[in-house]
Amino acid sequence: MSGYYFDDCSLNEIAEEHSITRQAVQDMIKRSERLLEQYEKKLMLVDKYLYRVRLKDDIIRELDALVENNAEGMLRIKSLVDHITD
- Judgement on whether residues 34 and 50 belong to the same structural domain of the protein: no
Global confidence as pTM: 0.63
What does the pLDDT average to over 14-33? 97
**Percent of the chain whose predicted confidence (pLDDT) is above 70:** 93
- Judgement on whether residues 73 and 59 belong to the same structural domain of the protein: yes
- Judgement on whether residues 34 and 8 belong to the same structural domain of the protein: yes
- Cβ–Cβ < 8 Å for 22, 12: yes
The boundaries of the domain holding residue 7 are 2-43
Query: At 75, which amino acid appears?
Result: L
Domains identified in the chain, total number: 2
pLDDT tens figures, 57-71: 888 888 888 777 766
- Judgement on whether residues 37 and 9 belong to the same structural domain of the protein: yes
